[in-house]
């Protein structure tokens, strides 16, 4: 990472720290895949009415990884993004039975079976922007099949009958529709990496204010089987994620409910088993709604879910694929909430999802929110072609900007020995390591109404090792703001009701070393290095894997924009990457192989 040295006030106490945190880099947990959000109900209005300049500023605020002249992040650095694959309610207008116009979703499929892709111009614009900024994972999600395939000709349900609003004979048609959408984006060289075909299947979704359909587990199974058949026949590489459970406990609980206990999809002896299908991604997608009204539920639901996932298949990962403050848990016993209180509660949920649920992917529900909309439902506030991240956005940014795909969460112990429930309203720390580069990120939420201090203990590292803090507080202008560097020898002040991310770049002692000599448990089998530059027109990359590998390599600028992307096809020793005309400066090489990502900073002079 490139940081500009700018000094802000960040206090260091001269007496003993309140809490000592000992990091254990060899204690490896989940690999982080992505942090992101959804382009939801206001997408079309913003895209249709805003100028290109306004839309560019909005894209920068959510995707950018650029550092400004004062050393502060310009944006949230999201590494994933979701767009809706609609069911045609927008084309039906008021006849859709969906009362809120902004929530009617467009659909490129016409009744005669042809496609009009201009209907998805807004979604396509934001997919393009995500790729332009180097976003790692792009998703499509469906709330309803196209109305031509539904039982009632609508994209929402009108009958209180527990079943999907999809005609029995149209499972293949719906699968074909999703395949065609995937192929459209693949042909544009902006493929959808994942498609979620169902959404919160436990809820009734009777026509009111958005598209939706209930789905029994047997119906989800049959749909995924149809998608596997169609996707393989069409050579679609996009993977399918399920079940998008409406709450965490619906993933592992409610075993007597035909929409509950959805880990059965991955149990080989169960009639619902589809875990061996090529199309199905090995990720359990579920939503964090309704399970954080008390600290007890926040803690135990995530612990119970992870326990069941590991019992089912320890190769499975959980992706928290939707969350915003639908319930009233965010009040957390407070009244007259300030903006920072929303951000802190969001950080509290993210922390527990990562440390107790082992979430490897995390996505907020709605990206954009118009002025006047509650801070419960947005990352970025928008009005009159102006935009700025809300405190909720900055709270996510403390994770999404700094914790990059491929980093691993590492272990940590506390000097107070507090268990998760005891610590839930106190100091909430977690740490992440890039094993290939030695980059270390520590996020600490101080949920308390008083200042606290911490000291970091990282065995085998010099106490003078520097870390750069980035701080968010209740101050309107203090948003992921760079502070004065600290070291492992300092007592680090955490202001009351704040979020601090501490960043240490390229710590040599933490880099996994291959071959004979020192190594770390769980070390990556592959790494790479830049060998030389030749007149700034090529970069040569030596690959240290023992076997040929396949994946992709990208050159990314400091704004997070992808300058070069090319496949790696059986590379054994060295790859020569042609460069476009680029200006002098700092760039990043990123190699992605088998869901792992490796990074290297390079300089063009």
pLDDT per residue as tens digits for the range 179-211? 999 999 999 999 999 999 999 999 999 999 999
Residue range 489-514: mean pLDDT, rounded: 84
Tell me how far apart the alpha carbons of residues 200 and 385 are, in angstroms, rounded to a whole number: 33
What is the CATH T-level fold of the domain 33-405, as seen in this structure? Answer: TIM Barrel (3.20.20)
Cα–Cα distance, 276 to 72 (Å, whole number) = 45
Report the C-alpha gap between 499 and 265 in whole angstroms: 38
Cα–Cα distances in Å, from 28 out to 22, 32, 401, 467? 14, 11, 21, 21
Fold of 12-30+409-509: Immunoglobulin-like (2.60.40)
| pLDDT for residue 12 is more than 60 | no
Fold: same for 12-30+409-509 and 525-604: yes
pLDDT over 60 at 543, yes or no:
no
Predicted structure pTM score: 0.84
Q: Tell me which long-range contacts 258-262 makes (C-beta under 8 A, separation of at least 24).
A: 258/162, 258/216, 258/217, 258/218, 259/162, 259/201, 259/202, 259/214, 259/215, 259/216, 259/217, 260/202, 260/217, 262/217, 262/220, 262/286
Write the DSSP string, 138-202: EEEE-SS--GGGSTTSSSSB-S--SS-SS-GGGHHHHHHHHHHHHHHHHHTT---SEEE----TT
Residue 362's H or E segment, with its range, is strand 361-366
pLDDT in tens, 293-344: 999 999 999 999 999 999 999 999 999 999 999 999 999 988 899 999 999 9
For residue 174, the cross-strand partners are: none
**pLDDT tens readout for residues 98-138:** 999 989 999 999 999 999 999 999 999 999 999 999 999 99
Give per-residue pLDDT as tens, 69-103.
999 999 999 999 999 999 999 999 999 999 999 89
Mean pLDDT calculated for residue range 24-45: 92
Q: Can you tell me the distance from the alpha carbon of 266 to that of 285, in angstroms, rounded to the nearest whole number?
A: 13
pLDDT at 581: 66
Top pLDDT among 355 and 529 is at 355
Domain ranges of the chain: 12-30+409-509, 33-405, 525-604
Task: Say which DSSP state 262 is in.
Answer: G
Q: Using only C-alpha atoms, what is the Rg of the chain? A: 24
Give, for 396, the enclosing helix (H) or strand (E): helix 391-400
Max CA-CA distance within the chain? 75
Could you say which architecture CATH assigns to the domain 525-604?
Answer: Sandwich (2.60)
CB contact at 8 A, 269 and 217: no
In which residue are the tokens 């709330």 written? 143
């Amino acid at each position: 990472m490139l940081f500009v040295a700018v000094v802000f006030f960040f206090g260091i106490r001269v007496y003993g720290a309140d809490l000592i945190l000992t990091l254990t880099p060899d204690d490896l947990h989940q690999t982080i895949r992505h942090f992101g959000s959804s382009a939801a109900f206001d997408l079309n209005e913003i895209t249709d009415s805003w100028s290109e300049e306004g839309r560019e500023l909005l894209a920068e605020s959510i995707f950018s990884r650029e550092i400004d002249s004062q050393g502060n992040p310009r944006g949230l650095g999201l590494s994933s993004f979701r767009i809706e694959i609609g069911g045609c309610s927008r084309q039906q207008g008021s006849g859709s039975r969906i009362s809120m116009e902004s929530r009617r979703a467009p659909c490129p499929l016409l009744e005669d079976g042809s496609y009009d892709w201009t209907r998805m111009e807004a979604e396509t614009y934001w997919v393009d922007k995500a790729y332009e900024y180097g976003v790692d994972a792009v998703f499509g999600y469906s709330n309803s099949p196209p109305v031509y395939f539904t039982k009632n000709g609508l994209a929402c349900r009108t009958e209180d009958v527990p079943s999907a609003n999809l005609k029995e004979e149209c499972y293949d048609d719906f699968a074909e529709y999703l395949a065609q959408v995937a192929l459209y984006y693949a042909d544009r060289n902006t493929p959808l990496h994942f498609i979620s075909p169902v959404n919160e299947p436990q809820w009734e979704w009777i026509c009111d204010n958005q598209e939706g359909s209930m789905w029994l587990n047997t119906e989800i199974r049959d749909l995924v089987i149809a998608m596997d058949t169609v996707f393989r026949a069409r050579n679609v590489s996009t993977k399918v994620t399920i079940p998008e459970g409406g709450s965490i406990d619906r993933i592992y609980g409610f075993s007597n409910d035909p929409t509950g206990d959805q880990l059965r999809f991955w149990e080989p002896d169960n009639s619902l088993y589809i875990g061996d299908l090529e199309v199905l991604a090995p990720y359990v997608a579920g939503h964090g709604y309704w399970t954080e009204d008390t600290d007890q539920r926040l803690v135990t639901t995530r612990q119970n879910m992870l326990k069941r996932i590991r019992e089912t298949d320890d190769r499975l990962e959980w992706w928290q694929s939707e969350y915003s403050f639908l319930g009233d848990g965010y009040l957390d016993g407070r009244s007259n909430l300030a903006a920072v209180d929303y951000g802190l509660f969001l950080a509290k949920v993210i922390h527990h999802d990562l440390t107790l649920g082992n979430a490897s992917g995390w996505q907020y529900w709605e990206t954009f929110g118009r002025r006047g909309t509650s801070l419960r439902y947005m990352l970025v506030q928008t009005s009159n072609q102006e935009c700025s991240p809300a405190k909720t956005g900055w709270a996510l940014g403390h994770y999404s900007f700094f914790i990059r795909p491929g980093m691993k969460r590492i272990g940590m112990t506390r000097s107070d020995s507090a268990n998760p429930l005891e610590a839930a309203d106190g100091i909430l720390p977690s740490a992440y390591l890039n094993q290939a580069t030695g980059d270390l990120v520590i996020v600490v939420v101080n949920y308390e109404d008083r200042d606290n201090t911490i000291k970091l203990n990282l065995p085998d590292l010099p106490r003078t090792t520097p870390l750069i803090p980035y701080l968010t507080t209740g101050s309107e202008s203090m948003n992921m703001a760079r502070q004065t560097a600290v070291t492992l020898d300092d007592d680090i002040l955490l202001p009351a009701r704040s979020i601090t991310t501490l960043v240490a770049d390229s710590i040599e002692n933490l880099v996994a070393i291959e071959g004979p000599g020192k190594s770390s448990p769980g070390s990556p089998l592959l790494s790479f290095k830049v060998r030389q530059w030749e007149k700034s027109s090529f970069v040569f990359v030596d690959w240290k894997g023992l076997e040929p590998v396949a994946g992709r390599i990208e050159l990314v600028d400091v704004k997070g924009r992808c300058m070069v992307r090319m496949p790696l096809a059986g590379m054994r020793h060295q790859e020569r990457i042609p460069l476009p005309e680029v200006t002098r400066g700092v760039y990043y090489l990123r190699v992605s192989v088998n869901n792992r990502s490796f990074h290297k900073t390079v300089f063009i002079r």
